[in-house]
Structure 1
Amino acid sequence: MSFFDPLPSLGKPRVWDVGALCRAIADSLEARFNPVTVRGEITGFSRAGSGHCYFSIKDAAGQLRCAMFRRAAVAMDFTPRDGELVEVRGKLGVYEQRGDLQLIVESLQRAGQGALFEQFLRVKAQLESEGLFDAARKRALPVMPRGIGVVTSLGAAALHDVVTALRRRVPHIPVLIAPSIVQGGEAPASIAQALQQLYDLAARKGTHGVPVIDVILLVRGGGSMEDLWAFNDERVARAIVQSPVPLISGVGHETDFTIADFCADLRAPTPTAAAELVAQPRQAWLDGLEAMQARIQDALLRQVDLQAQRLDAAAHRLGRPSQQMAQQRLHLSQLQQRARHGLLMKMQRQTQNYQGLKADLVQRTQRRLQQQGQGLQQLQVRVELLNPQRVLERGYSVLTTQSGQVITSTKQAPVGTPLKAVLADGSLDVSVTQPKLL
């Protein structure tokens, strides 16, 4: 029952205490209006440290103060912003300390969100039944893109975030931007047209047959369901599934989902995250290349050591140094040239994209080859010492028959046998006169 009597007293007018009058008005509002749902535009929104929210809703004819306590605020699935049209449900009351009319908000949602969400579900169900969301048609992202296409508004913060992330992580990869309207009635057609421009580029080949772009980012910053509605449009969805290269959708915030997310090969929670998915840091690749360089160098050094051991074994097996040494010198020279050539060719293939590392690796390898060459020269000196010619120069000679057969026993040369004595500077014809046994 209300304590406020709107009819005038027949006698002396009643004198109200301020607090009593405020309570009477509050009781009357409770009985007449509550609960109440109001549509209006948010203004002056703030959230206190306690978690309570304070704002006003207004239209062209009036304004109403609102308070939303923490227990109701935690149930909101979005952050209200000034200027946003909302529907508020709650109870009218009077804040007695100031005598202000206020609405205690129990729930708050964007105006028209329910109808839009129903439409979203209808479009989603239709496209899903046609197979546009099938996981089988999703493609893996390229490990190292040769070119990145971006569809977004030129004035959007999302473009700045994406370009900043790509410049920081992969400044060497070209980025091609197809500008588009991303909000409003013209946005779906504009997005589809921008995507087609990138599809045409993806079909072209650049230098050495490399694709101009091999991945596409479709990005936009956060906003209300109305702001993101273009990405729920059927035209955009069908354009996305026509992409000849993997396409990443990075629309809105992490909690936002659009039809574009389901059609894309991969969904990123934010535009920056979309850029990071296709841009592994350059340092990670340099570290991998350095590890690969170390493995190649170790393998080549092992091969050089193996060849050196084979050369040592060949030197020990030499029986006729004069002829065989020439062959071994030629073989050693060929091995040295092949090792140097093979080393340089492998290093060029492995480091063709990293010219700085290539120079360092070739320089290290050349120093190693020089060391090996010095070792080979030392082997040649050692082999040269085994040359019979040097033995002959010390006063020895080799006896052979006239046909060239080497005499190693007195039994091979009876008395009177004509022989030839090979000396350091020539040969002498001799004859056996009296053999002497040791």
Structure 2
Amino acid sequence: MARGPRSYSGSYEEAPLLARERPGDNAEPLSVSEISNALKRTVEDRFGHVRLRGELSGVKRAASGHMYAALKDENAVIDAVMWRGNAQRLSFMPEDGIEVVATGKITTYPGRSKYQIVIDSMEIAGEGALLALLEKLKGRLQAEGLFAPERKRRLPFLPNVIGVVTSPTGSVIRDILHRLGDRFPSRVVVWPVMVQGKGAAEQVAAAVRGFGQIQPNGPGGGPVPRPDVLIVARGGGSIEDLWAFNEEVAVRAIADSPIPVISAVGHETDTTLSDFAADLRAPTPTAAAELAVPVRAELANALIELGLRKRRGVARPVSLARERLANWSQRLPDPRAIVAERAQRVDELGERLRRGLATRAARAQGRLSEASGFLRPAVLTRQVAEERRRLAAMPDTHRLVTRIQQRRGEQLTATARLLGQLDPYAPLERGYAVVTGAGGDTITNRAAAAGEAMLTLRFRDGTIDTAPTDGATPPPAPPAPKKPRAKPARRAEANKGGPEQQSLF
């Protein structure tokens, strides 16, 4: 049997349909908003200022700039919100997994019936948490290749302008200027920045990018010269003091700098992410100045030494050549003795030439006298008479030539008659015919004629084409060739009737 609701007095009665006042109860019912606001006031009055230590989780920034996250430990979790003004003043970038100490107040969010902490300020909970954040950021930037060795650039050997990013009031800039003055006085352009605290990383990044945006001197260049190398420097301190050089904005600016960068942050045992991103790390700011420029005195000594080596290199071959010339000159004979011997030889040859010319002239004179004896008129007349007698004794050449001509004509006539007898077309005048095949070969028997597709019959006055089988149509007859002429015979007859050939003599 079902029981009805129990009354405040402990007795059972029927459930009322409408809300009504009960005897002895003068409390008005509260609305949800009223109880939520009451809880909110109570919690804020009790926990108006608290410091919580926990691990950040689910960190996100809204478009409005507010930051939302959760603080948790191994047993509990509480929502956290940080308004934009306070979030912008943070000295580090909140990320998941960082253990922090948050200062603020506990309040409620009536819209979801949840309580949360409104954070006014937040710090990293101890040096261990700071190192963990540093290692996490280092791993992420290293994975992107910002610390790769192939990104490192060589420093200029002798920079004309050196840019320094540091605090203008500290001892660092004085140490750098003093060391540069001792080694190699150079032009220094200082970009003053904060080196620790809120906003220091942004100022360092802005200085490095600002130096990179300066135009080189020359046409279109600005009044401030563009540095050839940058030195980002700071004195020693704790990890918290050096944290500005571990922040991502400063590290990325150094890695992206178009000008080679020397990182000189802290002492020799201090290491920041800027050291990994820079082209060269210096253990101290003073060492950075030593790495930036050479020692002028050493350069001057090197130039002097090179000059001495150059002079020795030029003078040494000359000295060796002089020594060799002196040695060779000692081995040479006396030039006057050489000339005297040659002069004597010339005199001897001159005398021989004079005697030779005289002897040759005498011999020529004798031959001329001998030859002139044969040129007397009596000798020449006797030789002419002898030649005439020999000519008169020779036979009559005209009759000899005529006799030879007649004999050659008879031989030519006989050859012409023989040619007419051997002419293959001469029988055609007596009714014979010559049979040739398609290739022009003469057919001499019936079997050869039967194997030809077409036969040509040559007669005295022309040719006829015929087929050896019935039904073949002969091709049109070619024009009859001209009858060969007996040229040698006619030429021989013409020679007979012509005039006699005159004597060739």
TM-score range, shorter chain: 0.3 to 0.5
- More relative contact order in 1 or in 2 (CA 8 Å, sep 6+)? 1
Q: Structure 2 length normalisation: TM-score?
A: 0.40
- Which has the larger Rg? 2
